[in-house]
Amino acid sequence: MLISLLKNPAFILGMGLFIGTLALAIFPPLFMNLDTINRVGPPFQPPSSQFFLGTDQMGLDMFAILVAGLKSSLYAGFLAGIIATTLGTLIGVYGGYKGGLVDDLLTSATNIFLVIPNLIVLILLSASIKDGRSLTLISVIIGCTTWTWTARAVRAQSASLRSRDHVNLARINGFGTFTIVMKHILPYLLSYVFMVFILQTASGILAEASISMLGLGPYDTVSLGKILYESKKSEALIDGAWWAFVPAMVLITVMVFALYVINTSMESVFNPRLRK
């Protein structure tokens, strides 16, 4: 399975792009002196040999801010992805395995929260938390509002496993719900859950960028969305200062695109119906 995954060109492309962005977030701070607090020159200086990406509206080194922003965005994406996947998987697996009234209730709740736009819930929550809106808190909120997709998809998978022989056998042998779900249902869903996690990470990165673009971003750090918000606010777009927003946009797009590609390539390997 792993070997056929490594032979898949789309998977290699997606992984390469994603590891590239990870490396950009991790390595430059180790080898370079990146200052995100002090001004290094006049505002909106175009890229030069000293500052690869020029300066922003305050005269800060754009490259340093970009690296810090990328790190925050990755952190937000992973944290939101982990929370959303865990919540969604637990709710989905439990409902799908239990069936009956519990399942009906969980499915109804999932469907209700699926229809209410989660950007709206995000806006309401973020706007009400005026002080102390840290990056971690924002990521937790994102994770708690985007689990619905996962729950719905995992429930369908788990319900199809419910009446399998080995699950029935475990039930007859008197194992409890927890043991059966953990030992006899979850292992069958692991590759699926992992693919869901990749998508949830992508949507976490997007959600953080969206909410920061509205000016509801974290107060304690920069993020790619916040860079875009500041550049819009300081009218970098109208002034043609492309280095203030293009790099952040490219990074968001590359990360999301890479994660999508990884997901589809994994699906084509793991899903027997799509395998050639």
Partner 1 sequence: MLHRYPRLHHGLNRLGWYFLTFVVAITINFFLPRMGPSSPVDILMSKASSTMDSAAARNKEETYLKEFGLAKLADDGSILRDQEGKPLKASLLSQFFNYLLMSARGDLGSSIIQHPKKVSEIIATAIPWTLALQVPTVMIGWIVGNLLGALAAYKRGVFDRVFYPLSLLISAIPPFCFGIILIYIFGITLRWFPAMGGYDDGLMPTLSWNFVVSASYYYFLPFMSIFLIVLGGQAIGMRSMCIYELGTDYVKYAKQLGIKESKILMYMFRNAMLPQLTGLALALGTMVGGALLTEMIFSYPGIGMAMLTAIQSSDYPVIQGCTLLITVCVLVANFSVDILIGFLDPRIKVQQTSGKGA
Of 97 and 229, the one with the shorter C-beta distance to partner 1 is 229
* Cα(35)–Cα(31) distance, integer angstroms: 13
Choices 30-38, 78-86, 153-161, 203-211 (CB under 8 A): range interacting with partner 1 = 203-211
Residues 263, 8 contacting (CB under 8 angstroms): no
Least distance (Å) from partner 1 to the CB of residue 31? 29
Could you say whether residue 128 binds partner 1 (CB under 8 A)? Answer: yes
Range 175-193 burial, b when 16+ CB lie within 10 A, else e: beeeebbeebbbebbeebb
* Cα(109)–Cα(88) distance, integer angstroms: 12
Of 111 and 177, the one with the shorter C-beta distance to partner 1 is 111
Beta-carbon neighbour count of residue 14 at 10 Å?
22
Residues 81, 74 contacting (CB under 8 angstroms): no
Q: How far is CA 39 from CA 57, 77, 169, in A?
A: 10, 29, 68
Residue count at the site for partner 1 (CB under 8 A)?
40
- Binds partner 1 by CB under 8 A, chosen from 57, 137, 214, 221: 214
Least distance (Å) from partner 1 to the CB of residue 173? 34
- Binds partner 1 by CB under 8 A, chosen from 123, 137, 140, 144: 123
Of 112 and 190, the one with the shorter C-beta distance to partner 1 is 112
Of 188 and 260, the one with the shorter C-beta distance to partner 1 is 260
Of 5 and 13, the one with the shorter C-beta distance to partner 1 is 13
